[in-house]
């Protein structure tokens, strides 16, 4: 079955109008990578994103590790950096061969509902200890913010700025970034070569070495 983008676009605008200004609906197109995937958005004020933005960090990680997890657990909660609690639902769009070519995501600001949880708990189903809460999710405005976030997390994992890492630390950082789906971002190799001050050949040599070490040492990011 072909993807009917005209229908999807009309549907997302209807959903946004139906639920109102606190319901953000985002259409992602992955045909050209993961840098600028947002091709349409309704009520972008909820997350502060706009057309040309990119997916959240955890969404890319799930696509990297197991895209079927998104099909099985499409609904989760995000604690936005502005204090909002956002209930999110992601639906993958696949082509006729089953490949993921896009996604339709609904982000509903339920902060006010949380304050009234006793009366609307059946609708919200929010609990900070619930496995549905995706505490690591970060909604970024663009791919530059996403790139910075990943690199900061890699430095935190290793415990040292990238420019000061030795070979072993660089290897570990590369394995971490690969596991998180960082290499799905276009020009990821260029960015990392500059950050680590190494050549492209050395970069992939370190990555290959790191993946072998990860299997032996049981690194799990």
By CB neighbour count within 10 A (0-12 exposed, 13-18 middle, 19+ buried), where does 57 fall? buried
Looking at every residue in the chain, the average pLDDT score rounds to 86
- Provide the sign of the torsion angle of the four alpha carbons 46, 48, 54, 56, taken in this order: negative
Q: What percent of the chain has pLDDT over 70?
A: 87
Question: Does residue 141 carry a pLDDT above 70?
Answer: yes
Question: Does residue 65 carry a pLDDT above 50?
Answer: yes
Domains and CATH numbers, the chain: 5-137 (3.30.450), 145-215 (no CATH)
CA distance 219 to 139: 27
Of 62-76, 80-94, 109-123, 190-204, the one with minimum mean pLDDT is 109-123
CA distance 63 to 183: 12
Provide the pLDDT for residue 2.
59
Provide the pLDDT for residue 120.
55
Provide the pLDDT for residue 97.
86
Question: Does residue 19 carry a pLDDT above 90?
Answer: yes
Longest pairwise C-alpha distance within the chain:
59
CA distance 63 to 181: 8
Give per-residue pLDDT as tens, 24-61.
999 999 988 899 999 999 999 999 999 999 998 888 88
Provide the pLDDT for residue 84.
84
Question: Does residue 71 carry a pLDDT above 60?
Answer: yes
Question: Does residue 121 carry a pLDDT above 70?
Answer: no
Residue with tokens 């605008």: 13
Q: What distance lies between CA 33 and its chain's CA centroid?
A: 13
Q: Which whole number is the average pLDDT over 195-216?
A: 89
Pairing of strands 75-79, 100-109: unpaired
CA distance 214 to 1: 40
Give per-residue pLDDT as tens, 170-194.
999 999 999 999 999 988 999 999 9
CA distance 33 to 13: 24
CA distance 199 to 10: 47
CA distance 1 to 111: 38
What DSSP assignment string belongs to 57-104?
HHHHHHHHH-THHHHH--EEEEE-TTS-EEEEEEEEEE-TTS-EEEEE
Nearest to 104 by CA among 116, 125, 89, 85: 89
Number of residues that make up the chain: 221
Question: Does residue 3 carry a pLDDT above 70?
Answer: no
Q: Which whole number is the average pLDDT over 8-28?
A: 94
CA distance 123 to 14: 21
């Amino acid at each position: 079955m072909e993807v009917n983008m005209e229908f999807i676009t009309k549907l997302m605008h209807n959903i946004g109008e139906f639920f109102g200004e606190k319901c953000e609906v985002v259409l992602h197109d992955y045909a050209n990578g993961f840098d600028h995937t947002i091709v349409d958005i309704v009520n972008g004020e909820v997350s502060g994103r706009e057309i040309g933005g990119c997916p959240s960090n955890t969404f890319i990680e799930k696509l990297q590790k197991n895209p079927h997890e998104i099909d099985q657990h499409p609904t989760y909660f995000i604690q936005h950096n502005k204090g909002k609690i956002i209930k999110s639902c992601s639906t993958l769009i696949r082509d006729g061969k089953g490949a993921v070519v896009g996604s339709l995501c609904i982000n509903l600001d339920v902060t006010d509902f949380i304050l009234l949880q006793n009366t609307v708990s059946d609708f919200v189903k929010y609990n900070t200890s619930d496995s549905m809460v995706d505490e690591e999710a970060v909604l970024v405005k663009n791919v530059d913010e996403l790139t910075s976030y990943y690199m900061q997390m890699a430095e935190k994992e290793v415990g040292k700025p990238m420019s000061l890492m030795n070979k072993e630390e660089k290897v570990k950082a590369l394995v971490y970034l690969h596991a998180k789906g960082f290499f799905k971002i276009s020009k990821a190799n260029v960015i990392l070569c500059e950050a680590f001050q190494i050549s492209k050949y050395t970069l992939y040599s370190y990555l290959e070495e790191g993946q072998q070490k990860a299997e032996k040492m049981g690194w799990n990011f």
